[in-house]
Amino acid sequence: MARDWPETRWNRFARDGESEVFRGNTLLHTDIAPSNVIIGEGRAWAVDWAWPTRGAAFIDPACLVVQLVAAGHSVARAEAWAAECQGWATADSAAIDAFALAALRMYQWRADRSPEAIRVGDMAQAARQWAVHRNVAPTD
């Protein structure tokens, strides 16, 4: 089913032409969140596949980077974990930079529209920390 659904949700938040790097043929969950991962008996399961798509292999690890930062991990530690994933390790750094900026813009857009949603604000702050770390967003 996901083969017919290319990943596009970050495209409108990317700079002109940068969304091309989000394309790919990897099955993506894209809703990596604490309630969507079950860990037990030395294994982990991704659940709630409500929005599967296909795209660049680095996107799911990138989504987890933002979640880890929002949970209190340093950006460096979160990226070190992501670096263990082949999709991240083989990705062009410029593609990850483009995604970090698009993620920041998306989360900030959502936070601006729902200022009462604390979790969304936390995700926007985590995305900002990540984008600043990657030198794609100002430090202000």
Residues 6-32 pLDDT 10s: 888 899 999 988 999 999 999 998 887
Domain spans in the chain, listed from the N-terminal domain onward: 2-133
pTM, two decimal places:
0.90
Instruction: State residue 45's pLDDT score.
Output: 84
Say which range, 11-20, 70-79, 85-94, has the weakest mean pLDDT.
11-20
Q: Over the range 31-62, which residues count as b (16 or more CB within 10 Å of their CB) and which as e? A: bbeeebeeeeeeeeeeeeeeebbbbbbbbbbb
